[in-house]
Amino acid sequence: MPKLFVYPKKGEELVIPLKDKKISMGRSADNDIPILDPFCSGHHAIICPKDDGYVVRDNGSKNGTFLNGKKVVAETELKKSDEVLIGSTRIIFDDRLSTNVEMLEASSPTTNINTIIQVEDVLKKSDIDTTMKATFASVDMEKVKSEHKAFSVLSEVSKALILHMPLGELLDSIMDLICENLPMDRGILMLKEGNPPQFIPKVVRINNESLKNQRIQVSQSIINMAVNKNSSVLTSDAQADSRFKAQESIIKFNIHSAMCVPLWNNREIIGIIYSDRISLLDQFTDEDLKMLTLLSNLAAVKIENAKLVEQAIDRDKIIVIPSDLITGHIGTGD
C-alpha cells in the first residue's frame, strides 16, 4: 500500500497510508493532513486514487500546489518519490527522505564569518587572460597554480555535463562532481521553489560515516547572507566569533567550517549549495570558496538550461494532443 511521508517545516515526520480514498490537505482542522502554515489555504489540495494509481489536484488555493518544483495546474499523476510542496510542507509520495534537512532559525551561539566574496567579482576575475598575464609576470605562483587548477576542474566538469540529462539526474551529477573536487563532510544542493519562494533540499551528499543518520541542521542566517548579498560565504570555528550574536548558530553539531554559495545563472539566484566540515584540522580555505563559486555558477547555468528543455518538452506534449485529434487517431463514429 502506498504511503505519504509528510515533512513540516518544524516537527517530526508524519506517515499517512493511502487506503484507496481521497486525502485532503490544508490549514483547516477537518483535513486528513492538517497543515499549519500561513501560506496554506483551508482546503488546499487533495490526493486521490485514479485508475491504478494516485493523482494530486489543487483546490484553487491562493498560493498554489507544487509538484517536483512545477505548479500543479491540472490533475497530475503521482509517481514514486514525487514531491508535493504546500507552503513549507513537503509531502513525498511512497518514499521517505533519505536525509532530513532542517533550517534553524532560533537564536544561539555565533558564527565566525571568515570570507564574504561577491559572486560576480569571482566570475569577472577568473578568466584565462588574467591567469596567463600573472604567469608571465612571475607573481604569486601559488595563486597561479590555484587558478590553473580551477580552470582544469571547470573544464572537466563542463565536459561531464555537456550532454542534456533530466533535471534530477543533472542535480545528482553536479553534487557528485563537486564532492569529487572539493573536500567536504556534507554537501546540500537546494533549489528555490514554491510560493512564497523557499530553498528546498534536492540532493544531499554525506562523505563522513559518523554523520550518516543524523538530521542536518543548517543555519538560515548563512543562507540569507549568501542570497541577500549574492555572495559566497565561508565560516570557520562556529564557536569562536561574535559577528552573528542574537542570530542562530551555523549548525549545532560541532561544525567548524562551512561554505554557502548561491546558484547564480548570471540573471538570478535559483538555489544554493551548502557544504561543511567537522574537523578543526581540515577547514575550508578561500580557494575552496572560489572553486565552489565557479562550479556553482556553471551548475546554475546547466540547471536553467535543463529546466528550459523540460518546459519545451511539456509544451510539445500539450501540442501533440490536438495534432493527434486532427490526424484522426480518434474514431470518427463510422
pLDDT digits (tens, 9 = 90+) for 201-234: 999 999 888 788 777 888 888 899 999 999 999 9
Of 65-69, 176-180, 284-288, 294-298, highest mean pLDDT: 65-69
Q: Which of 42, 51, 137 is nearest to 87 (CA)?
A: 42
| Ramachandran angles phi, psi of 31, nearest 5° | -75, 155
Is CATH 1.10.510.10 correct for 3-96?
no
Q: How many whole angstroms separate alpha carbon 91 and alpha carbon 29?
A: 18
What kind and span of H or E run contains 63? none
Where do the CATH 3.30.450.40 domains begin and end in the chain?
A: 102-313
Q: Sign of the CA dihedral 181, 112, 196, 24? A: positive
Pair 187, 178: CB distance under 8 Å: yes
Q: Give dist(CA 160, CA 296) in Å, integer.
A: 15
Tally Cβ neighbours within 10 Å of residue 151. Answer: 14
Q: How many Å apart are CA 81 and CA 100, to the nearest integer? A: 14
Length of the chain: 334
Distances (CA, A) of 201 to 22, 28, 187, 315: 28, 27, 10, 27
Residue 110 pLDDT > 90:
no
- Give the model confidence (pLDDT) of 166-177 as tens digits: 899 999 999 999
Query: Is the pLDDT higher at 328 or at 103?
Result: 103
Q: Where are the alpha helices (DSSP H) in the chain?
A: 119-125, 128-136, 141-160, 167-181, 220-228, 286-326
Largest CA distance in the chain: 85
> What are the residues whose beta carbons fall under 8 Å from the beta carbon of 30, sequence distance 6 or more?
24
Q: How confident is the model at residue 114 (pLDDT cuts 50, 70, 90)?
A: confident
DSSP type of residue 215:
P
* Model confidence pLDDT, tens digit, residues 62-81: 999 999 999 999 999 999 99
pLDDT higher than threshold 80 for residue 99: no
pLDDT band at 43 (very low <50, low <70, confident <90, very high): very high
Q: Is the pTM of this model over 0.85?
A: no
> Residue 215 corresponds to which cell in the numbers above?
538530521
Phi-psi label, residue 68: left if phi above 0, alpha if psi -120 to 50, beta otherwise: left
CATH 2.60.200.20 boundaries in the chain: 3-96
Any idea which architecture 102-313 has in CATH? Answer: 2-Layer Sandwich (3.30)
CA 117-121-127 angle, 5° bins:
125
